[in-house]
C-alpha cells in the first residue's frame, strides 16, 4: 500500500471511529462541560426507576439484543462512597440471566472518568474503559436493574453509565438502549441540560428532542400519546396541570433507534370522510384511512382560523379499510350548542407520530436564557414538526401571552420561566400529518324551546292565545328553516297563595282602638300602608288601612279595611 493510500485509509478509519459511540453518558452528557448523572431510585415522590424494586417495565432501563452472537459491554461509576451495589440482567418475564457486584474502584466494570465513559468499552474502542460482559442466551429485550438496597425512598446517582451492544465483529450497534422514564439530575438548578433524546412513537415515528439548555435540576423524561392524562379526551389531557401527572408510554432512546429492530412507520392518510347530520343534532363522521393511526377533526364554529375554545376538537384512533365512526353532539368545547343553520368548516387530519412530553417539577425553564425545545423529525422523512402547548391552568387570568400555542411553533419553542414548581408542563407535536380537503356543513337539529310559567293561585297566564290558570303542559310543533321540527313546550305551575282577610270595615267609639291581623305562615313578609312590617298593627284613627303580604313561595296577597273613629263621647250612666 503506497503512502497516499495509507493516508486515506487512516482518514477513513478515523472517520469511522467517530461513528462508534457508547450508549449512556456519551448521549446524556454530551460535553465535558455538561456532565449529568443518572438517578436510580426505589420510590419516593418521583417514583421508582432503574432498580430491582421497580415492578413495571415502564420504570426500567432496557437494551435490545438482535442475536446471540452479539455481546453486551457495560460499566458504571456511582456518585457515592461506601458500601457495595449490585446489578441484575433479566429477560422480560423477570428471569435473571446474569447478576453480580458492580465495582466502586478500578476494576472491570468501573468507569474512571468522563473521557473513557464517552469512548466506550476498550474491547470495542482503544482507550476506553475495561467493561463487564454479558453474552445473551437469547435475542430480544433485556432489563438492566441496579440493586441499591431495600429502602422505599432510597435513591442513588450514577456518575457514569454505559451499555454497549456489539455485533460478532465487535462493531458497536447504536440505538439499542432505552427507557420509558429516564431520570437525570444536572446536579444544580443553575446547570443547563443540553442533551438530545429520541422517542419512538406508537406508530413507529422517531423524533429528536433537543433540550437546548433547559435548567431542570432533578427530573424525568417520559413521552406518550395524550399528555398529562389518558381519559380519551385529548383536548383536556394535553393541558399542563398542577401536580405530578405523567405516564410513560413510548420507548425513549439515547440514540436514533436501531432501524432493523425499530423500523420507520409509513405515512398514513385519510382516504375519504362522509358526514351525516340528521335532525337529532348528532353529527356522524365515517372515516376511511389507509393505515392504523390517529385522526383529528377541527370543527371551525366561530369562523376564526385555528382552534379556539368556541370550536370543537375531536380525536380518535382509526383502522384501515373500514368505516371508523366519530360522533359529535353539536356542542363546542366551551359548552355552547351550535345554532341551527350555522355554516361550519370541518378539517380532518391523519396524525402520524403524535408525541407528548410531560415534564414534572421543572421549575427552572428560564424564559430569558432558554427559548424552549428544538424538535426534529428523524424518520420517516418529512417536514419539521410544529410544537404546541396549553399552560393556562397554571396561571390565574389574565393569562400570559406565551401560556398557549395551538397553531404550532417552529424552532426553539415553549419556555415557561419558573412556573413549573410541583407542576407538570406538557409539550406535544405531530411528526407527520396528512390533511383532508375541508368539508363544509350547515348544521341542523330539531329545536326544542322550554318555557316555564309559575303563577299564584287566582292568577292566569296566556299560553298559545288561551288564558290558563291551572297546572298543565302545552306544546306546539312547527318546521324550522332546516326542515326539522321546532317544538315549544310550556309548563304552567300554580302556587298556592297565602290566606289574607282583614275583615269588614269598622266603626270605633271615641278613644277606642282595634288590632288588624294579617298573620300568615312562618317566613311571610308584610308591608302596611302605615309603613309597618309586622303581622299585626293597632289603629285608632279614621283611615283606610291596607297590607301587602308576601308568602315564602313568592305569592302576594293584598287586602284593605276602612276604620272610622267616632267623635261622640259615650253617654255616662247615672245612678240614683
- Pairing relationship of beta strands 556-565 and 506-508 according to DSSP bridges: parallel
Structural contact between residues 243 and 372, judged by C-beta atoms closer than 8 angstroms:
no
Q: Is residue 402 located within the same domain as residue 456?
A: no
Q: Is residue 266 located within the same domain as residue 306?
A: yes
* 301 domain residue, yes or no: yes
Separation between Cα atoms, residue 162 and residue 131, nearest integer Å: 9
Structural contact between residues 51 and 148, judged by C-beta atoms closer than 8 angstroms:
yes
Q: Is residue 350 located within the same domain as residue 474?
A: no
Separation between Cα atoms, residue 199 and residue 222, nearest integer Å: 8
CA distances 498 to 139, 454, 505, 519, 561, Å, are 88, 15, 21, 10, 18
Comparing C-alpha atoms, which of 364, 406, 374 is closest to residue 389? 406
Q: Is residue 211 located within the same domain as residue 329?
A: yes
- Pairing relationship of beta strands 355-360 and 423-429 according to DSSP bridges: antiparallel
* 360 domain residue, yes or no: yes
Q: What is the pLDDT of residue 1?
A: 43
Q: Is 413 helix (H, G, I), strand (E, B) or coil?
A: strand
Comparing C-alpha atoms, which of 138, 34, 46 is closest to residue 90? 138
Helix (H) or strand (E) holding 69: none
Q: Is 562 helix (H, G, I), strand (E, B) or coil?
A: strand
The model carries a pTM of 0.75
* 135 domain residue, yes or no: yes
Q: What is the DSSP letter of 498?
A: P
Structural contact between residues 101 and 217, judged by C-beta atoms closer than 8 angstroms:
no
Separation between Cα atoms, residue 117 and residue 133, nearest integer Å: 16
Q: Is residue 152 located within the same domain as residue 110?
A: yes
Give percent of the chain with pLDDT exceeding 90.
69
Q: What is the pLDDT of residue 499?
A: 87
Q: Is residue 255 located within the same domain as residue 399?
A: yes
Q: Is residue 224 located within the same domain as residue 241?
A: yes
Residues 209-222: pLDDT tens digits?
999 989 888 999 99
Q: What is the pLDDT of residue 22?
A: 77
Separation between Cα atoms, residue 308 and residue 390, nearest integer Å: 12
Q: Is residue 426 located within the same domain as residue 453?
A: no
Last residue of a domain, one of 401, 426, 444: 444
Query: Is the peptide bond preceding residue 380 cis, with omega within 30 degrees of 0?
Result: yes
Cell of 236: 383536556
**Quick one: three-class SS letters along 165-209?**
EECCCCCECCCCEEECCEEEECCCCCCCECCEEEEECCCCCEEEE
Residues 285-306: pLDDT tens digits?
999 999 888 899 999 999 998 8
- Pairing relationship of beta strands 514-517 and 536-539 according to DSSP bridges: antiparallel
Separation between Cα atoms, residue 203 and residue 197, nearest integer Å: 18
Length of the chain measured in residues: 576
Structural contact between residues 155 and 72, judged by C-beta atoms closer than 8 angstroms:
no
Domain span at residue 478 reads 447-495
**Averaged pLDDT, groups of 10, the chain, 576 residues long:** 39 38 88 92 92 96 98 92 85 97 90 96 96 97 94 87 97 97 92 94 95 90 96 91 95 98 92 91 93 90 90 90 94 93 92 95 73 94 93 92 90 89 94 83 87 91 93 88 84 90 92 93 94 95 94 92 81 58
* 169 domain residue, yes or no: yes
* 7 domain residue, yes or no: no
* 14 domain residue, yes or no: no
Q: Is residue 489 located within the same domain as residue 517?
A: no
Comparing C-alpha atoms, which of 61, 71, 56 is closest to residue 24? 61
Q: Is residue 410 located within the same domain as residue 534?
A: no
* 1 domain residue, yes or no: no
Q: What is the pLDDT of residue 401?
A: 86
Last residue of a domain, one of 185, 212, 234: 185
Q: Is residue 303 located within the same domain as residue 256?
A: yes
| Owner of C-alpha cell 370543527 | 299
Q: What is the DSSP letter of 393?
A: G
Last residue of a domain, one of 159, 185, 211: 185
In the chain, how many domains are there? 4
Q: Is residue 125 located within the same domain as residue 93?
A: yes
| Sign, Cα dihedral of 93, 94, 99, 101 | positive
* 571 domain residue, yes or no: no
Amino acid at each position: 500500500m503506497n503512502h497516499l493510500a495509507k493516508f486515506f485509509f487512516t482518514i477513513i478509519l478515523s472517520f469511522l471511529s467517530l461513528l462508534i459511540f457508547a450508549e449512556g453518558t456519551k448521549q446524556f452528557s454530551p460535553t465535558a462541560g455538561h456532565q449529568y448523572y443518572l438517578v436510580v431510585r426505589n420510590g419516593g415522590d418521583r417514583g421508582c426507576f432503574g432498580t430491582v424494586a421497580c415492578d413495571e417495565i415502564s420504570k426500567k432501563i432496557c437494551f435490545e439484543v438482535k442475536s446471540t452472537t452479539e455481546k453486551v459491554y457495560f460499566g458504571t461509576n456511582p456518585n457515592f462512597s461506601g458500601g457495595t451495589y449490585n446489578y441484575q440482567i433479566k429477560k422480560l418475564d423477570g428471569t435473571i440471566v446474569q447478576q453480580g457486584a458492580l465495582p466502586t474502584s478500578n476494576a472491570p466494570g468501573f468507569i474512571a472518568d468522563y473521557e473513557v465513559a464517552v469512548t466506550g468499552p476498550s474491547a470495542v474502542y482503544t482507550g476506553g474503559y475495561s467493561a463487564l460482559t454479558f453474552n445473551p442466551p437469547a435475542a430480544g429485550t433485556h432489563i438492566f436493574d441496579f440493586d441499591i438496597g431495600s429502602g422505599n425512598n432510597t435513591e442513588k446517582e450514577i456518575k457514569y453509565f454505559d451499555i454497549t451492544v456489539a455485533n460478532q465483529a465487535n462493531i458497536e450497534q447504536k440505538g439499542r438502549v432505552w427507557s420509558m422514564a429516564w431520570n437525570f439530575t444536572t446536579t444544580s438548578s443553575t446547570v443547563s441540560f443540553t442533551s438530545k433524546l429520541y422517542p419512538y412513537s406508537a406508530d413507529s415515528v422517531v423524533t429528536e428532542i433537543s433540550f437546548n439548555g433547559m435548567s431542570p435540576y432533578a427530573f424525568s423524561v417520559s413521552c406518550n400519546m395524550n399528555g398529562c392524562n389518558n381519559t380519551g379526551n385529548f383536548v383536556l389531557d394535553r393541558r399542563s396541570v398542577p401536580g405530578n401527572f405523567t405516564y410513560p408510554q413510548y420507548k425513549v432512546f439515547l440514540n436514533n433507534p436501531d432501524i432493523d429492530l425499530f423500523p420507520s412507520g409509513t405515512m398514513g392518510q385519510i382516504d375519504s370522510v362522509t358526514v351525516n347530520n340528521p335532525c337529532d343534532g348528532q353529527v356522524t363522521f365515517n372515516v376511511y384511512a389507509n393505515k392504523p393511526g390517529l385522526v383529528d377533526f377541527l370543527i371551525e364554529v366561530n369562523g376564526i382560523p385555528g382552534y379556539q375554545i368556541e370550536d370543537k376538537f375531536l380525536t380518535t384512533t382509526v383502522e384501515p379499510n373500514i368505516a371508523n365512526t366519530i360522533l359529535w353532539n353539536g356542542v363546542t368545547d366551551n359548552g355552547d350548542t351550535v345554532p341551527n343553520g350555522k355554516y361550519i368548516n370541518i378539517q380532518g387530519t391523519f396524525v402520524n407520530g403524535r408525541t407528548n412530553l410531560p415534564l414534572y417539577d421543572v421549575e427552572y425553564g428560564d424564559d430569558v436564557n432558554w427559548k424552549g425545545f428544538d424538535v426534529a423529525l428523524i424518520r420517516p422523512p418529512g417536514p419539521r414538526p410544529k410544537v404546541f402547548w396549553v399552560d393556562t391552568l397554571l396561571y390565574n387570568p389574565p393569562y400570559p401571552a406565551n401560556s398557549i400555542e395551538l397553531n404550532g411553533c417552529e424552532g426553539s419553542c415553549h419556555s415557561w420561566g419558573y412556573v413549573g414548581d410541583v407542576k407538570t408542563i406538557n409539550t406535544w407535536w405531530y411528526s407527520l400529518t396528512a390533511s383532508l380537503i375541508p368539508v363544509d356543513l350547515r348544521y341542523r337539529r330539531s329545536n326544542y324551546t322550554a318555557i316555564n310559567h309559575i303563577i299564584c293561585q287566582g292568577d292566569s297566564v296566556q299560553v298559545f292565545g288561551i288564558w290558563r290558570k291551572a297546572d298543565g303542559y302545552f306544546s306546539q310543533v312547527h318546521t324550522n328553516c332546516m326542515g326539522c321540527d321546532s317544538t315549544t313546550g310550556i309548563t304552567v305551575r300554580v302556587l298556592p297563595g297565602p290566606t289574607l282577610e282583614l275583615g269588614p270595615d269598622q266603626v270605633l267609639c271615641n278613644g277606642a282602638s282595634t288590632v288588624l291581623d294579617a298573620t300568615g305562615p312562618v317566613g311571610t313578609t308584610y308591608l302596611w300602608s302605615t309603613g309597618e312590617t309586622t303581622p299585626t298593627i293597632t289603629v285608632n284613627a279614621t283611615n283606610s288601612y291596607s297590607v301587602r303580604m308576601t308568602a315564602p313561595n313568592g305569592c302576594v296577597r293584598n287586602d284593605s279595611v276602612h276604620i272610622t273613629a267616632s267623635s261622640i263621647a259615650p253617654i255616662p250612666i247615672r245612678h240614683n
